[in-house]
Homo-oligomer: A and B are copies of this chain.
């Protein structure tokens, strides 16, 4: 079977991670998974939310949003509607949890890092692109915080790397990194977040049409682990650049 863009089932789209996309943010990235483009900024502030004050521990959180015309038809702004939708809430929480999985909050000290992931253009996999890009922005922000001595010398707030990818069963075939057209026709859709050493941070599989069995689940997990591994390699490469 050949995919609409000619990829093999186990092939990622072209992925790019450009650092330094904002002159203001402590870390910033434009990440592209094919035509999906997400602008990720990491903002460091001293201090933590009230419920964490005095704990000696830091906090990392995320907010995800789509620009109104990032999709094929324009959507209303959530600011105009006056409330954040369920999907936005869900993805923001997923990104935050995923990044915290590789953060040692004690080592971070009482500092807060907010990751803003704004989708400029959507073509499937926006949440996984956001996690993958946000990790790099986070890493840059941590480096900045160390340089400013906000993080004590010798402490390492990051315990590993984290990346994410979507997988799904389309027409009976497990595919890696779904484009929008594939996503909407998938029977099963799964988002997998892995650490750089190949362990799972999140596994979220949903039967969109038919329920899936254990064999299908295993096939999807194999694809996802291999995709995350490739993304982790790219993250490392990008972060090694000056």
Contacts and interface: CB of A to CB of B under 8 A. Distances in A.
Contacts of A225: 214
B68 A116 contact: yes
Given A199-B213, A205-B203, A65 B86 contact: no
Contacts of A65: 77, 79
A8 interface: no
A64 to B, nearest CB: 10
Contact of A200 (B84, B101, B212): B212
A195 B214 contact: no
A87 B92 CA distance: 11
Given A69-B25, A116-B67, A221-B214, A207 B84 contact: no
Given A22-B69, A93-B86, A217 B200 contact: yes
Given A35-B23, A77-B79, A63 B67 contact: no
A236 B83 CA distance: 40
Contact of A92 (B28, B86, B116, B207): B86
28 contacts: A22-B69, A22-B70, A23-B123, A24-B121, A24-B122, A41-B67, A63-B68, A63-B77, A65-B79, A68-B116, A69-B116, A79-B83, A82-B83, A85-B89, A86-B89, A101-B207, A101-B211, A194-B211, A198-B213, A199-B211, A199-B213, A200-B205, A200-B207, A200-B211, A202-B207, A203-B203, A214-B221, A214-B225
